[in-house]
Amino acid sequence: MANRPSAAARRTRARSDDLQVVYEDDAMLVLNKRARLLSVPLERRRGAGSMYDQIETYFRSRGKRLPYVVHRIDRDTSGLVVFAKTGWAQQRLKEQFRRREPERVYWAVVYGHPRPATGTWRDLLVWDGVALIQKEARAGDRRAVEAICEYRVIETFRGASLLEIRLRTGRRNQIRIQAELRGHALVGERRYRSASEPRREIPFERQALHASRLSLRHPVDARRLEFEAPLPADLISLLERLRHQR
């Protein structure tokens, strides 16, 4: 991943007044990203707003340098994202992610009721660079990468469940594809879902996925930091609606 998005991709001006800062110091910045907002600008989606654009405006208004990207979450996923303020801090933080040291916890609403109620999902995935989606890897595919996460059913509803999911690997779209492979696509999912699987449709405008907790070591002094982002209003509303339909 590049240290910073290219200038061509960063053409959209953005307001920083709705930036939800969870933590900030001289080395790093932790934000609560709202859904339907890119983490960083993409060349193929020029003109689409991103959290990076908001940070750029926020930093420049305070006379600071542009941020460095550490990791990202999907456009329609809400929750915690980390940026670095120096190249050195970025390197230290990204090394933690490469070693799978940070604890990353998501909440997801999926169709159906996963059995057993707790478990581990392990898959071999391959990224389709043309379709821009993850796929289950075929036997012997040398491009295959391992995807691992642990899940726990928190609450069940009529035709759906609320899960807590801990990532052990951080593959692109990982939770979305692993849930779909087991017949439990995320509510609101548009890309990773089987058209042949009958289900009672639950209206929701995005995939019901939220990066709720993150724990990592500070890049300067290595102290353990823990962050939490409360569920956004749309997911709270979805859960209330499902509870009333039992």
Nearest to 178 by CA among 218, 215, 217, 150: 150
- CATH classification number, 103-213+231-246, choose in 2.60.40.1250, 1.10.3720.10, 3.30.2350.10, 3.30.2130.10: 3.30.2350.10
**CA angle at residue 28 from 24 to 33, to 5 degrees?**
70
What are the structural domain ranges in the chain? 1-99, 103-213+231-246
What are the φ and ψ backbone dihedral angles of 131, each rounded to 5 degrees?
Answer: -80, -15
**Cα–Cα distance measured from residue 53 to residue 32, given in angstroms and rounded to the nearest whole number:** 14
Helices (H) and strands (E) in the chain, counts: 4, 11
Residue 149, H or E segment: strand 145-157
234 is catalytic: no
For the ranges 57-66, 126-135, 184-193, 205-214, the lowest mean pLDDT is seen at 57-66
Burial (CB count within 10 angstroms: exposed 0-12, middle 13-18, buried 19+), residue 184: buried
**Cα–Cα distance measured from residue 51 to residue 39, given in angstroms and rounded to the nearest whole number:** 5
Could you report how far apart the first and last alpha carbons of the chain are, in Å? Answer: 45
CB 98 within 8 A of CB 91: no
The structural architecture, per CATH, of the domain 1-99 is 2-Layer Sandwich (3.30)
* 219 DSSP assignment: T
pLDDT recorded at residue 10: 46
pLDDT tens string 100-131: 999 999 999 999 999 999 999 999 999 999 99
Preceding peptide of 116 cis, ω within 30°: yes
Kind of pairing, strands 160-167 and 103-111? antiparallel
pLDDT recorded at residue 61: 75
pLDDT tens string 40-53: 877 655 566 788 88
pLDDT recorded at residue 63: 74
CB 29 within 8 A of CB 85: yes
Residue 28, H or E segment: strand 28-33
pLDDT tens string 205-232: 999 999 999 999 999 999 999 999 999 9
Of 53, 74, 76, 123, the active-site residue reads 74
Q: 11 pLDDT band (50/70/90 cuts)?
A: very low
